[in-house]
Chain A
Amino acid sequence: MDDLVTNSLETFFRRIERRDGMAPAERLALVRSVSTLENVRAGVDLVKEGDRPSRCTLLVSGFTARYRLVSSGERQFAAIHVPGDFIDLHSFPLKEMDHSVLALSDCTLAMFPHSNLQELTESYPHLTRLLWLLTLLDSALHREWIMCLGRLSATARAAHLFCELGIRLAVVGLGEPDNYDMPLTQQDLADALGVSSVHANRVVQALRSDGLLVWQADRVTLPDLARLRALGEFDERYLHLVREPR
């Protein structure tokens, strides 16, 4: 079981080690905190607004989105998770979920019971700070999305999102910043950008005809990353990719 879990946590370890080193004992403590690995199908809510989860969920493979619904039935994504991300680490101290998380593709998940995290945080101070860091990275990402949603055009927001996903996937070893696999639908993109599906479609066509995006099947290629970054006002500072003692 330990080997299987260790392999499953590889993207998670890469994500952390891009920001700080981890001792072998800390890695092992994380591996031992996993109770089960589970598979879910695309379209399933992994946690729902109002839930009181008894465990935190780490995304091992696949993509999920953090979202809220409004009364018209429209969805707004607040973040997209990639492999190596905790989807609800904050449920450990917050207890009650104030939003839902949706599987955008088939996913594999590693489950961390809150009781295991409690023991871990009582025994490993540095590891506890790293878990704290992860929730701070979530909030840094939300601040960036607020800027995008409030002030950038839909086309610039899309440019920003394609830049962001490329870097986050490259950090965990899945593709390159300008070339990666991503299973989002047109409606998913619309819900991330906060626009209608027709508008999202138009934005994709505009980026394509401008030579900034190739998106076929689930493969994304960004032929002119420098120009796309400028259009999306993208600067990865908010991803905090500096390795230093935390």
Chain B
Amino acid sequence: MPRFYFDLLDRDGEQIDEDGVECQDLDQAILLARQTVSEIAREAFRDTEQTELAIRIRDQEEGPVVLKVTLDTYGRQ
């Protein structure tokens, strides 16, 4: 199975995933990234003042694919 790498992008910059995870294909990697970005957003939006973060999926052949989630604060910070 190909190994995919999942970098986290937020206001502090990029956290590069050096270990990666084996996935069947890009579709499964996207599913995993969706789950992960929602888990991390839940904590980041609650515990810090972040309003936006994204996961970038990399592998040797395809990508990168970027999944971004945003917390809409209606203009208030």
Report A's interface with B, CB cutoff 8 A: 153-154, 186, 195-199, 201-202, 205
Contact = CB atoms under 8 A, between A and B. Distances in A.
A198 B36 contact: yes
B51 to A, nearest CB: 18
23 contacts: A153-B43, A153-B47, A154-B39, A154-B43, A186-B21, A195-B36, A195-B39, A196-B32, A196-B36, A196-B39, A197-B21, A198-B21, A198-B32, A198-B33, A198-B35, A199-B36, A199-B40, A201-B19, A202-B8, A202-B17, A202-B36, A205-B17, A205-B19
Contacts, number: 41
* B interface, size bucket: 10 to 19
Contact of B39 (A186, A199, A205): A199
Interface in B27-49: 32-33, 35-36, 39-40, 43, 47
Interface of B: 6, 8, 15, 17-19, 21, 32-33, 35-36, 39-40, 43, 47, 55
A148 to B, nearest CB: 13
B53 to A, nearest CB: 12
Residue from B8, B17, B40, B47 having most chain A Cβ neighbours under 10 A: B40
B61 to A, nearest CB: 19
A186 B17 CA distance: 14
B72 to A, nearest CB: 23
